[in-house]
Each structure stands twice: as C-alpha cells, then as structure tokens.
Amino acid sequence: MKRKLKWFWLVMMGLSVQLYALTPSTPTVSASDGTYPDKVHVSISGGGILKAPSYEIYRNNISSCAAENGCRMIYKDGTSSYDDTDVKRDTTYYYWARVCDGTSCSDYSSYNTGYAHLDKPPKTSIDASDGTYTDKVELTIKPQSEATSYKIYRSIKNSLPTAEYKTVTATSYNDTSVKAGTTYYYWVKKIVVKINSVSGATEYRLYRSEKDTLPSNVYATTTSTQYKDTSVTQGTTYYYWVKACNSGGCKQK
C-alpha cells in the first residue's frame, strides 16, 4: 500500500515595520526680570515626554541668535532650569532653549528676556512694554484729568532727566528710536493750560509761541479758566501767556 505524503508549506508572511524617530517638540523658555540681584533664573518647559532629555540654553545681548552675532550656549544638562550668574546689572539678556534626546534636538524656542536686579521706577501714570517688540517700546499713558498734552522723559538710567524727550497729545506712543538690548526708563508729566480766575474778567486771551517770547497775535480766546489746546505737534515745546479782559481793556497775568 502506497501512502501519499502531503507536504505542508508554511508560508511566513513578512511584516515590514518602519520606525520613525520622534523629534522633541519646541520648548518654551522663561527668564527672571529683576527678581535677583546677581543672577537671571532661566527655566525651560515643554519639549515632549522624553526618557533622558538634555536641555540647552543660549544667550545673546540682541534679539537674534547666531554664532556670528555673539549668541552662545551657556548651559547643557539634564535639568530644565539654570541660574545665569555671568550677568551685569541693568543689562537685558535674550535667552533661547532647545531640548535633545540623544539622537535629535528640537527647534530653538522663541526668545525671552531677563535681567538682574534692575531697579525700575514705580509705575505711576505711564507703562512701557518690556521686550514685547524688537523695534520699539510701546508707551501707554493713564489719562489725566484736565491734561491737554503730556511731556515724556526718557533715560537709560533710573534718574529723571531735565530735558523732555517728547510731547504727545494721545495717551499712547510708540518709541521707535530704541536699540535692542538697551533698557530705557520713562516718566510723564501732564500739561494743562489752566487760568487763574480774575475778578471782573469776561474773557481770557491766550498767546502761544514755540519760543520764550510773548507773541503779538492772540492765539485763542476763552471765557473758561481752562483751555484744551489740540493744535499741537508731538515733540514741540510751547509757551503760553494769558490776558484777562473786560470792557475796560486787558491785563496780562
């Protein structure tokens, strides 16, 4: 008796698996603003869930990070925070960060500015943007009652200068005459054309000039003891005089 042998072929199905390396996501960097007198505390967040991440921090004095313009790595380690003690007071620094996992690194973060123990003047009636823009400082003036315009003072030191920087009529102003990496201090004074009341006066004649010399022509006439001068040019200083008048004539105050 012959037996038929049956051959069973076991076909192994090939399973092709392609592995993709996950690149760390772009982190966020933050730096302390005058919190410490002798350092800037820099911290990094984000970057994805990595088993053994490595953090890199870069620093420059301007808002651009490239080797040719002085940007350099100041930290590389497995901890997501760093105290930068190689700093000077009253100097603003720009920081970037990225995260690596041994095989690849994330993109560089957006920069964040920091400084050590910068003694800012207390906020009163003017606020200034802090590192929000790379080409300007945005000033916001709190409206003051009776103000017709505002004198802005600016300095690179925390000391009120004697000369005004700009005269504005609006409560906002973009200061574009700035340099990246430089800290500016701002002060503001309101300007009010206010007239002391004179008994018997029926009107007041105002004189205005860009020089400290009384002009011959009357600039405006008002019956009120306050006058809002809206015909002004930013950056120009004006001088005012007033005469109290009635049917008998005028008298300069």
pLDDT at 145: 67
Q: Which of 114, 139, 168 is the last residue of a domain?
A: 114
Q: Tell me, what CATH number does 166's domain have?
A: 2.60.40.10
Q: Is the pLDDT of residue 49 over 80?
A: no
Q: Which of 63, 94, 114 is the last residue of a domain?
A: 114
44 and 99 inside one domain:
yes
DSSP annotation of 69: G
Angle at 242 between CA 152 and CA 209, to 5 degrees: 50
Q: Mean pLDDT, the chain, as a whole number?
A: 82
Rounded to whole angstroms, the Cα distance separating 161 from 214 reads 27
55 and 109 inside one domain:
yes
For residue 240, CA distances in Å to 153, 156, 227 come to 21, 31, 11
pLDDT confidence band for 110 (50 / 70 / 90): very high
Show the domain range for 244: 194-252
Rounded to whole angstroms, the Cα distance separating 224 from 134 reads 45
pLDDT confidence band for 47 (50 / 70 / 90): confident
Q: Is the pLDDT of residue 236 over 90?
A: no
185 and 205 inside one domain:
no
Q: Which of 114, 140, 166 is the last residue of a domain?
A: 114
Rounded to whole angstroms, the Cα distance separating 94 from 58 reads 8
* Position 144 in a domain: yes
Q: What would the mean pLDDT of 206-226 be, rounded to a whole number?
A: 88
pLDDT at 98: 93
The count of structural domains within the chain is 3
pLDDT at 115: 87
Strand partners, 186: 154
